[in-house]
Each structure stands twice: as C-alpha cells, then as structure tokens.
Amino acid sequence: MLEEVRITGLGVIDEAVLELSGGFNVVTGETGAGKTMVVSGLGLLFGGKADPSRVRPGAERALVEGRLQVEPDGPVARQVNESGGDLDDDGSTLILSRSVSAEGRSRATCGGRSVPVSLLTYLADDLVAVHGQADQQQLLKPGRQRQALDRFAGAEFAELLASYQRVYQRHQQIRTELAELTTLASQRTRVISLVLPFDVVVDTAALVPFIETISSLARSRDYDVLLLAANEGSAGLQRVAGRALCDAIIVMNVQTRDERVPVAAALSVPVVMIGVPEDPQGLHCVDLDFAGAGRMAIEELVATGHQRIAIIEHPAEMLDRRLSFIDRFLDAAMQAARQRSLPVDVLTPAERGRVALVSVIDRLIGLTGPGPLGLVVPNMQAQQPILRMLAARGVVPGRDISLIGLSTDADAAESDPPITNLSFEPRDISRRAMQTMFALLEPTGAPPPPAVDLIPPRLTRRQTVVNVLTG
C-alpha cells in the first residue's frame, strides 16, 4: 500500500507531501492547485516517461519519493532483494524515488539502490493502478488475465499452480543447461593432444603401444589425436591450449620434478599425466605402481633366499632426466633392501648401446658373495641383450644367477629362457589414462576418477629365479 508521496519541483508544485491511509482517500482542490501534478508524480515514480518540461521553472530537477508497505515475503520484496535493494523497518517498508533533471537526465532508486527505470515499471504492476479515461489497460495484458482466472479458481487450484510453477522453473533451468552444453560442444575441437618424447635418448618403439591405444580409444569417441613433441616443454602446452587447438592434453615421460606441472595445472583444459611427479598440484595422474613393483622385486628375491642383489639401471643419460617412473622404482627397491639389511649394487651403463652394457655385465660377473646373485632389470630394452651376454659367458639364469625383469608378459614369455617378470603393460596404462580423460571431458554424474590412479604390479614366476632355499 502507498502510504506517502513527497513531490519536489514538479510543475506548479514546489514541495508537497501527500499522506495516504487505508481505505478511500480523496484529493480535492480548485483548478490549477496541482491535482494533475500529483497524478503525474505517481506516473513518474512508477516508471513513466521523464519529461524535463515538467520540471518547475527555476528548479534543477523534479523529485518524487514514495513510501510503501509491502509483504515481506511477497513478489515485490523478492524483486527488491534480487536487485540489491533493502526494505526498511520491519522488512515491509519500501522507499522508491525518481528524479528528472532540467536537462532530461533521469535517475531511479529502489530500496536505497540505483536501479533501471524498467524495475519501477515492473513493480508498479503489483503496487498501483491508475484509473481514468482509457487509462485502465491492465486487463488487456495476458498475464493479468491469467492471474485473475487463477485467483477465481480458489485455494485448491493455487496448490496445483505452485506445483506446476516449480516444475516449469526446473524445466527452464534444464533447457538453459542444455543450451549451455550444446554451445560448449559446438566450441570443442574434438582433438586430444598427446605430448611425447621424440629424441635419441628415448626408445621410440616403446611408445608405439601408447600411441596406438590412445589413438584407437580417441577415435572410438570421435576425437582426433595431435602429437606434440615433449622437448617444447611448458611453451608447447601453453601454445596448444592458448590457441584452442585441443580439448584435453595427455603428458608422457613425466619427470619427478617436472617444470610443466604448474603450467599444466593452470590450463583451462583437462590434463592427464602418464606418470606421477613429486607434486602433482591437483593434476590427474595414471601409471603403473612402480614403487610397488620395486618393492615386489626385492621381496621375491628375499623370499627365495638371496643374500645379495644387483640392479642394472637405465643408461646414465636417462637417469639424468630424473624420470618419475625410474626414480620411484629404484627408490622403493633400495628402501626395501635396506629394511632387510641386504647389500645392493646399482650398475648404470654409461650410455645406450652394446659396448656400455658389456662393461656392466663384466662388472656384474665379477661381483662376489654368498649364494647366487639376484639381478633386477627394470630397463626393458636391456633384458634381451643381457640374456645373450650372460649365455655367451656360460652364466645360466635360473641356475647360476637370478633375474627379474620389468616387461610385458608377452615379451617375458617369449624370452629364452622365459623371464620372471613384473608386468608392465603400456596398453593397460593407456586405457586407464583415457578413461580418466573421458571422465573429465564428458562427466556423467558418476564419482570423479582418483587424482592419482596407480595400477597394481603383478609378478609372474617363470624360469630365471633360483630358489636358494630349496636348492
């Protein structure tokens, strides 16, 4: 209800206050007293046209203020709160104002906050109706017609109407969400970038299972794969993401302290790392549990009675890169051996190739100690050359020496002799990485994938480990 109207500088009115009460109020006066200006002031207050010609001569502006009582939980109060305004006193008093300058500038406030004039027009529908010759146009509005019909239907229908409105609002919300998802999908490139190491240090043949599996799974979901050389470093990640060349990135050959991690963590596209850096910074990481594999190798040699162990590592140039999987395997194996007070010799080829590996094998055979030596070879590319070099020197794995390798089950089974191995399956790791990637790219409402997803190692006993305890 409108309780008070204050008019300043409008037409013939210098300043006037009109106080209204409940019930019927009558404003009278002789011709020229300003009755029309009162109606004009109400029109201005509730969003009418701001006409600077109505500003009183000599005044800088015309101002109309109104004080109204509204329902604290009603539609007017909700609209005021949504616009940032406040209700005074007990939460039911609303102050509106509208001013127009002599130059024609208009300003509106609602609940102490500047608002668009259109808000006053919107509120007027629930606050005031001006009846006059051809002025009553409310019933021509379809919305008012529906409201009148709904009120006529009674309280029982009101409950049904409220239920319908809730469902309709949810429907509109879902339509909005669907439109946003459709827009997002149309903006996608349908490309996944795969960051690979391409240089002389890395055995590119070992990358083939990763590339084949990731590409096949990507195509099954209508994605293409963009290969990116890892030697571009952080700049490469920023380039493909910044130019919107891909929807997601998979990073391989992760270092323990990888300078790409903070850059990848800040990108707007999902990033999955095949490997686990020292500090993932919230990135999703997928890999074999190399630390568990290192421990398992030592535990197997201890269980079969070995009292001394040697590890033939990757070439020095690979170790210098501090690749995460190499560090995790070696650190865990060394810790497991120390816990059991077992001596461990770590032999590192100076470089890739047969000559450096021959030097390591000669040093290996020269090692002395109780019982047969337990040899662990996490370097998959070195296992077959090592077997041939041992055979050439008359050393038989499974009789004179024990050997546990980290390799695929297929390679281990086809070796001569078949190697006792810790299973490393690039295709399994690739599949797990792509599952994580798709969960991030196309969420289904299922629980999110783990931040660090490690595939448990599996040891398969074949013919290259001597059981010292049983002879």
Q: Looking at the structure, tell me whether residues 122 and 18 fall in a common domain.
A: yes
Q: Looking at the structure, tell me whether residues 301 and 267 fall in a common domain.
A: no
Over range 30-41, report the average pLDDT. Answer: 80
Of 127, 156, 187, the position where a domain reaches its end is 187
Q: Cα separations (Å) of 445 from 433, 440, 442?
A: 19, 11, 9
Which band of pLDDT confidence, cut at 50, 70 and 90, is reported for residue 134?
A: low
Q: Looking at the structure, tell me whether residues 266 and 318 fall in a common domain.
A: no
DSSP element (H, E) containing 138:
none
Judged against a pLDDT cut of 90, whether residue 273 lies above it is answered with yes
Q: Looking at the structure, tell me whether residues 258 and 302 fall in a common domain.
A: no
Residue 432 is assigned to a structural domain of this protein: no
Q: Looking at the structure, tell me whether residues 148 and 244 fall in a common domain.
A: no
Which pLDDT does position 117 carry in this prediction?
A: 86
Give the pair of three-digit tokens for residue 114: 């500047």
Place of tokens 């404003």: 27
Of 136, 159, 176, the position where a domain reaches its end is 136
Helices (H), 308-394: 316-319, 324-339, 354-365, 380-392
Which band of pLDDT confidence, cut at 50, 70 and 90, is reported for residue 321?
A: confident
Residue 51 is assigned to a structural domain of this protein: yes
Q: Looking at the structure, tell me whether residues 306 and 383 fall in a common domain.
A: yes
Judged against a pLDDT cut of 80, whether residue 131 lies above it is answered with no
Query: Which percentage of the chain shows pLDDT scores above 90?
Result: 47
Residue 440 is assigned to a structural domain of this protein: no
Q: Which amino acid is at 445?
A: G
Looking at residue 378, which CATH number applies to its domain? Answer: 3.40.50.2300
Question: How does DSSP classify residue 37?
Answer: H
Which band of pLDDT confidence, cut at 50, 70 and 90, is reported for residue 187?
A: low
Place of tokens 């501090």: 322
Q: Looking at the structure, tell me whether residues 87 and 198 fall in a common domain.
A: no
Which band of pLDDT confidence, cut at 50, 70 and 90, is reported for residue 404?
A: very high
Of 259, 285, 311, the position where a domain reaches its end is 285
Over range 58-72, report the average pLDDT. Answer: 88
Peptide bond into 116 cis (omega under 30): no
Q: Give the whole-angstrom CA distance, residue 121 versus residue 118.
A: 5
pLDDT tens column, 336-370: 999 999 999 999 997 888 888 999 999 998 888 88
Over range 142-159, report the average pLDDT. Answer: 81
Residue 105 is assigned to a structural domain of this protein: yes
Residue 469 is assigned to a structural domain of this protein: no
Residue 22 is assigned to a structural domain of this protein: yes
Judged against a pLDDT cut of 80, whether residue 178 lies above it is answered with no
Compute the mean pLDDT over every residue in the chain, rounded to the nearest whole number.
Answer: 88
Judged against a pLDDT cut of 90, whether residue 277 lies above it is answered with yes
Residue 46 is assigned to a structural domain of this protein: yes
Task: Answer whether 63's CB lies under 8 Å from 108's CB.
Answer: no
Q: Give the whole-angstrom CA distance, residue 145 versus residue 332.
A: 78
Judged against a pLDDT cut of 80, whether residue 207 lies above it is answered with yes
Which pLDDT does position 180 carry in this prediction?
A: 66
Q: Looking at the structure, tell me whether residues 128 and 143 fall in a common domain.
A: no
Give the pair of three-digit tokens for residue 98: 């509208």
Q: Looking at the structure, tell me whether residues 280 and 296 fall in a common domain.
A: no
Q: Looking at the structure, tell me whether residues 173 and 296 fall in a common domain.
A: no
Backbone φ and ψ for 450, nearest 5 degrees, come out as -65, 150
Which band of pLDDT confidence, cut at 50, 70 and 90, is reported for residue 201?
A: low
**Helix, strand, coil percent content, the chain, rounded in steps of 5:** 40, 20, 35
Entry pTM:
0.62
Q: Give the whole-angstrom CA distance, residue 464 versus residue 471.
A: 14
Residue 199 is assigned to a structural domain of this protein: yes
Looking at residue 12, which CATH number applies to its domain? Answer: 3.40.50.300
Looking at the 3D structure of the chain, how many domains does it have? Answer: 4
Q: Looking at the structure, tell me whether residues 46 and 179 fall in a common domain.
A: no
Q: Looking at the structure, tell me whether residues 207 and 349 fall in a common domain.
A: no
Which band of pLDDT confidence, cut at 50, 70 and 90, is reported for residue 438?
A: very high
Q: Give the whole-angstrom CA distance, residue 418 versus residue 61.
A: 98
87 versus 405: the higher-pLDDT residue is 405
Which pLDDT does position 27 carry in this prediction?
A: 82
Query: What distance lies between CA 271 and its chain's CA centroid?
Result: 10
Task: Answer whether 430's CB lies under 8 Å from 210's CB.
Answer: yes
Judged against a pLDDT cut of 80, whether residue 224 lies above it is answered with yes
Give the pair of three-digit tokens for residue 110: 């609602």
142 lies in which domain range? 137-187
pLDDT tens column, 298-315: 999 999 999 999 999 999
Q: Cα separations (Å) of 253 from 87, 274, 387?
A: 61, 7, 27
Q: Give the whole-angstrom CA distance, residue 421 versus residue 26.
A: 101
Q: Cα separations (Å) of 151 from 40, 129, 161, 395?
A: 31, 18, 10, 99
